[in-house]
Amino acid sequence: MKILKKIGISLLVIITFLLVVALFVSREFNYEKSITINKPIDQVWEHTNSLSEMDRWSPWNDYDPNMKKELSGVDGTIGAKSSWESDNKNVGKGSQAIAEIEEPTLFVTDLKFYTPFESEAKGFVKLKSQIDKTIVTWGFKSEMPYPFNLMKLIMNMEESMEKDFKSGLTKLKNICEQE
């Protein structure tokens, strides 16, 4: 019985320690990636200013080209919403609604993920003009719930996002530069 008591106390100490550590780990999770496109900002804006245009270069379409999609509202205007559903764990189920538009420099969406994990985020595409080129920054801001913010200490979340964001931005660059 003493060994079970020691194991129980040890587990309780470890769990308590982890919960205390989680209090000091930031809950914010932000990620962004940029690419330079050799086209003027107005041409690039045409491919980033609506949900259907963003869908053309979405890297998640490659995971499940047959995912169910639905678009509601007037695309390219605040409030328009795109929803998706897939059995593929890399895609899951979620939606994004246009929250803010500042033509031709900013497109913001409210993202909601239902599966495989429930979460919310602010997605964004920022454009910055450089004479005949455009710097496109694609990213999101989110908050991880306590105590799941501990995952930031053991997982490289940025590394897991890198491949998909790079793929999407490369597709966008190819679409824009082939015009």
Structural domains present in the chain: 27-177 (3.30.530.20)
Q: Which residues are 138's β-sheet partners? A: 33, 125
* CB-neighbour burial class of residue 102 (10 A; exposed 0-12, middle 13-18, buried 19+): exposed
Closest CA to 140 of 20, 52, 28: 28
Is the pLDDT higher at 117 or at 92?
92
Q: What is the pLDDT of residue 160?
A: 75
Closest CA to 94 of 123, 125, 116: 116
User: Over 70: is that where the pLDDT of 143 sits?
Assistant: yes
User: Over 80: is that where the pLDDT of 96 sits?
Assistant: yes
Give the pair of three-digit tokens for residue 103. Answer: 């033509």
User: Over 90: is that where the pLDDT of 57 sits?
Assistant: yes
**pLDDT > 70 fraction of the chain, expressed in percent and rounded:** 94
132 phi and psi, to 5 degrees? -105, 15
Q: How far is CA 44 from the centre of its chain?
A: 20
Whole-model pTM?
0.83
pLDDT (mean) for 161-177: 95
In Å, the largest CA–CA distance within the chain is 75
